[in-house]
Structure 1
Amino acid sequence: MLTVAVTGATGAQGGATARALLSSGHQVRALTRDPNSPAADALRGLGADVRHADFDDRASLDTALAGADSLFAVTTPFEADTATEIRQGKALVDAASTARLGHVVLTSAAHADRDTGIPHYDSKRLIEQHLRATGLPWTVIAPAAFMDNYASGWTLDGLRDGTFAWPMPTDRPLTLIPADDIGAFAALALQRRDEFTGRRIDIASDERTPGQIAEILAAAIGRPIAHQEVPLSYVRTWSADLAAMFEYFTTSGLDVDVARLHRDYPEVGWHSFTDWTVGQDWSALLAPAPARH
Structure 2
Amino acid sequence: MLTIAVTGATGAQGGATARALLAAGHRVRGLTRHPDSPAAGVLRAVGAEVCHADFDDRASLDAALAGADSLFAVTTPFGTDIATEVRQGKALVDAAAATRLGHIVLTSAAHADRGTGVPHYESKYLVEQHVRTAGVPWTVIAPAAFMDNFTGGWSLDGLRDGSFAWPMPADRPLTLIPAADIGAFAALVFERRDEFAGRRIDIASDERTSGQIADALAAAIGRPIAHQEVPLSHVRTHSADLAAMFEYFTTVGLDVDVTGLRRDYPEVGWHTFADWAAGQDWSALLTPAPAQQ
- TM class by shorter chain equals over 0.9
Match of 1:114 in 2: 114
Match of 2:235 in 1: 235
CA distance 1:290–1:99, change in 2 (3 Å): closer
Distance in 2 (CA, whole Å) between partners of 1:248 and 1:259 is 22
Deviation at 1:130, TM superposition (A): 0.4
Distance in 1 (CA, whole Å) between partners of 2:38 and 2:23 is 20
Distance in 2 (CA, whole Å) between partners of 1:79 and 1:288 is 24
Aligned residues: 293
Deviation at 1:134, TM superposition (A): 1.1
Match of 1:184 in 2: 184
Match of 1:193 in 2: 193
Q: Does 1:17 align with 2:5?
A: no
Distance in 2 (CA, whole Å) between partners of 1:100 and 1:288 is 48
Match of 1:83 in 2: 83
Q: Does 1:132 align with 2:132?
A: yes
State the TM-score, normalized to the length of structure 2.
Answer: 0.98
**40-49 vs 196-205, greater mean Cα deviation:** 40-49
- 1:106 match: secondary structure: strand
C-alpha RMSD over aligned residues: 1.0
Q: What is the 5 A alignment of 1:89-100?
A: 89-100=89-100
Match of 1:245 in 2: 245
State the TM-score, normalized to the length of structure 1.
Answer: 0.98
Deviation at 1:289, TM superposition (A): 5.2
- 1:134 match: secondary structure: coil
Letter in 1 for 2:73: A
Deviation at 1:291, TM superposition (A): 7.0
CA distance 1:195–1:171, change in 2 (3 Å): same
Deviation at 1:42, TM superposition (A): 1.2
Distance in 1 (CA, whole Å) between partners of 2:88 and 2:291 is 43
Letter in 2 for 1:60: S
Deviation at 1:253, TM superposition (A): 0.3
- 2:236 match: secondary structure: helix
Match of 2:285 in 1: 285
Gap runs ≥5 in structure 2:
none
Distance in 2 (CA, whole Å) between partners of 1:109 and 1:40 is 25
- 1:129 match: secondary structure: helix
Distance in 1 (CA, whole Å) between partners of 2:207 and 2:232 is 22
Deviation at 1:38, TM superposition (A): 1.4
Distance in 2 (CA, whole Å) between partners of 1:33 and 1:125 is 24
Gap runs ≥5 in structure 1:
none
- 2:8 match: secondary structure: coil
Provide, for residues 109-147 of structure 1, a one-character-per-residue CA deviation record: whole Å limited to 9, x for no partner.
Answer: 000011100000000000000000112100000000000
Provide, for residues 186-209 of structure 1, a one-character-per-residue CA deviation record: whole Å limited to 9, x for no partner.
Answer: 010011100000000000000000
Match of 2:221 in 1: 221
CA distance 1:190–1:224, change in 2 (3 Å): same
